[in-house]
């Protein structure tokens, strides 16, 4: 099947100068349940206002991409869960992803040579309007910039959660988004933040980021704010149990087609708890009047200047191995946080 997202050149290479010749590009496609492949096609030269980007790294947003690979995107969410440059349709075949770091090779003169971030799937080269590109600050290592989309989600979640100076905050689920939420919240003056996860090996990551850690059985209760990012019913149940009187539980997990069961007959009403959803597809309500997507992603990129965040890059593989890597992470993720893909 041809790659519908790669614009095929309509005229022969023999009639084109070397500068205008189409570029060969390969892209990762999900083709069935726990099935994926690399497809090759021609990428036409960039048009006016466009740039050709050669990919350096992509990141696997493990939770969401695993749901896509397993075919667990609910039909009701097919439109809402489309990535900005997704090709194909759910459940498959579909080209999906949004953590791409590359270098501009052609396009407007002031962009050539720039290292950029784009919400683009796993593909070796691509053409997009320059408005879709974000320059990576000099202080941010290109390999770390694959965290930008996850950090943007965490920023939006903190905006929705609205923590206050001195709050006691619990973050349940030490995946990439949960860790980043805890890292951000711990920088609010006076806040006491505890990162909670069933995996005791996450304690080292929390310590390196200056955040307290606890296993679920040891977690502190009566907190002012709970941020839930474990993707499990058990985690959400504990979030309600830890929340103090009139506290907020912010739900950042996305469950796909997995049903979630909650016990709301206990203290949920008596403690007047607020259960609130947060999703990065919309800028948080409190910021929406002044912030747009571009400004928000720019903030996330600037925050990545802290080299301590390299601890979230828990592995790296070559692009050629991506189909096997995706299956492995969707079935047995182990200790993976952000898994990085390296392009030659």
Running DSSP on this structure, what letter comes out for residue 320?
G
Count Cβ atoms within 10 A of the Cβ of residue 188 and give its class: 0-12 exposed, 13-18 middle, 19 or more buried.
Answer: middle
First to last CA, the chain: 25
> To which residue do tokens 């010749």 refer?
21
149-176 b/e (C-beta count within 10 Å ≥ 16 → b): bbbbbbbbbbbbbebeeebbbbbbbbbb
How much is the pLDDT for 266? 84
How much is the pLDDT for 20? 66
- Residues of the chain with pLDDT below 70 are 1-21
Domain ranges within the chain, ordered by starting residue: 13-135+306-342, 150-277
**Would you identify the CATH topology of the domain 150-277?**
Rossmann fold (3.40.50)
CA distances from 204 to 174, 211, 229, 338 (A): 11, 10, 19, 16
CA distances from 202 to 109, 175, 176, 331 (A): 45, 9, 11, 20
Distance CA 91, CA 32 (A): 8
What are 27-36's pLDDT values in tens digits? 999 999 999 9
Task: Provide the whole-model pTM.
Answer: 0.92
How much is the pLDDT for 19? 53
3-state secondary structure of 313: strand
Judge: domain 13-135+306-342, CATH 3.40.50.720.
no
How much is the pLDDT for 95? 98
How much is the pLDDT for 99? 98
């Amino acid at each position: 099947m041809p790659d519908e997202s790669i614009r095929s050149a309509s005229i022969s290479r023999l009639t084109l100068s070397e500068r205008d010749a189409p570029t060969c590009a390969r892209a990762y496609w999900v083709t069935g349940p726990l099935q994926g492949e690399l497809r090759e096609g021609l990428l036409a030269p960039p048009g006016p206002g466009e740039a050709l980007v050669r990919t350096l790294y992509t990141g696997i947003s493990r939770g969401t991409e695993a749901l896509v690979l397993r075919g667990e995107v609910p039909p009701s969410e097919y439109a809402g869960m489309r990535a900005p440059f997704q090709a194909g349709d759910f459940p498959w075949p579909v080209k999906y992803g949004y953590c791409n770091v590359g270098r501009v090779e052609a396009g407007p003169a002031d962009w050539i040579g720039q290292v950029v971030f784009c919400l683009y799937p796993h593909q070796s080269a691509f053409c997009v309007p320059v408005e879709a590109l974000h320059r990576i600050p000099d202080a941010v290592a290109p390999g770390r910039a694959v965290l930008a989309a996850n950090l943007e989600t965490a920023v939006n979640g903190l905006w929705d959660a609205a923590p206050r100076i001195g709050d006691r905050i619990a973050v349940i689920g030490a995946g990439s988004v949960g860790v980043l939420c805890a890292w951000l919240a711990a920088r609010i003056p006076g806040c006491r933040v505890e990162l909670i996860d069933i995996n005791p090996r996450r304690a080292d990551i929390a310590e390196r980021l200056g955040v307290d850690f606890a296993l679920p059985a040891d977690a502190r209760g009566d907190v002012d704010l709970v941020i839930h990012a474990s993707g499990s019913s058990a985690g959400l149940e504990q979030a309600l149990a830890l929340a103090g009187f009139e506290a907020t539980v912010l739900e950042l997990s996305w469950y796909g087609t997995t049903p979630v069961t909650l016990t709301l007959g206990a203290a949920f009403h008596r403690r007047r708890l607020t259960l609130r959803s947060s999703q990065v597809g919309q800028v948080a309500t409190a910021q929406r009047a002044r912030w747009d997507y571009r400004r928000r992603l720019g903030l996330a990129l600037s925050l990545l200047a802290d080299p301590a965040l390299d601890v979230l890059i828990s592995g790296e593989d070559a692009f050629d191995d991506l189909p096997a890597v995706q299956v492995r992470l969707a079935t047995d993720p182990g200790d993976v946080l952000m898994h990085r893909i390296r392009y030659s």
